Amino acid sequence: MTGTLVLVRHGQSDWNLKNLFTGWKNPELTELGVQEATTGGKALADYGIKFDIAFTSALKRAQDTCRIILDCVGQPDLETIRNEALNERDYGDLSGLNKDDARAKWGEEQVHIWRRSYDVPPPGGESLRDTGARVWPYYLTDILPRVLSGQKVLVAAHGNSLRSLVMVLDKLSKEQILALNLATGVPMVYKLNADSTVSAKDVLGDMSGAH
């Protein structure tokens, strides 16, 4: 009997609100971000899940989202492992810049390529492929074995670190993953087969709220 993997993108951060490239920078959740995390946590409570362990990144917005969700499901003291392997994609020289200012500096097309190509990184930063290259080994060694042993595992992380996981779990092509945005605070509940493929997926909320 295999377990359950729940992926949740953190709630809106202050820099999401200000339209800034965030990456490994460490802004707080906004009031809306706290509400989004709470809504996701309540959806999981209604779903009736109890977790055996939680994983999150080394960044505060994901850690706070994780904590809020665990409070909502009545497990505030659950063991939580933090690791920078789950961090957001590193935007390098773009980090902290307003997206419109970046377009003015480098051009609309170049910034679009950096944001939306699969394997072209921004200056000093990571592509989505680079992000997956650190997320996947960590998933395979630290997270997946727990799910396959029957545990229920929460992963509260970031848009791009989770997209790199979803790409493989949902068997998406490079083109399909580029079109996928993950809504903030919306839990994705995966049931896995013994061979680690997906047997069922439930999305507990509206994915169209992505930004």
Residue pLDDT, tens place only, 87-112: 999 999 999 999 999 999 999 999 99
- Give the model's confidence band at 116: pLDDT under 50 very low, under 70 low, under 90 confident, else very high: confident
Decide if domain 4-205 falls under CATH 1.10.620.20.
no
Give pLDDT, residue 2. Answer: 79
Q: Which pLDDT value is given to residue 182?
A: 93
pLDDT tens column, 45-68:
999 999 999 999 999 999 999 999
Q: Which helix (H) or strand (E) holds 130?
A: helix 128-138
Confidence of residue 207 (pLDDT cuts 50, 70, 90): confident
Please tell me the number of Cα atoms within 13 Å of 17 on its side-chain side: 12
Q: In what order do the strands lie in the sheet with 4-9?
A: 80-82, 53-56, 152-157, 4-9, 188-192, 198-203
The model's pLDDT over 1-41, given as tens digits with 9 standing for 90+, comes to 679 999 999 999 999 989 999 999 999 999 999 999 999 99
Structure tokens at 167: 């790409």
**Residue-wise pLDDT tens digits, 159-178:** 999 999 999 999 999 989 98
- Using CA atoms, how far apart are residues 154 and 51, in angstroms rounded to an integer? 7
Residues 6+ apart with CB under 8 A from 160: 88, 89, 128, 131
Local confidence band at 209 (pLDDT 50, 70, 90 cut-offs): low
Which residues are known catalytic residues? Answer: 10, 88
| pLDDT tens string 136-155 | 999 999 999 999 999 999 99
Each domain of the chain, given as residue ranges in start order, spans 4-205
What is d(CA 73, CA 38) in angstroms, rounded to the nearest whole number? Answer: 10
For the chain, how many residues are written?
211
Closest CA to 131 of 83, 183, 88: 88
Answering whether pTM is above 0.85, one says yes
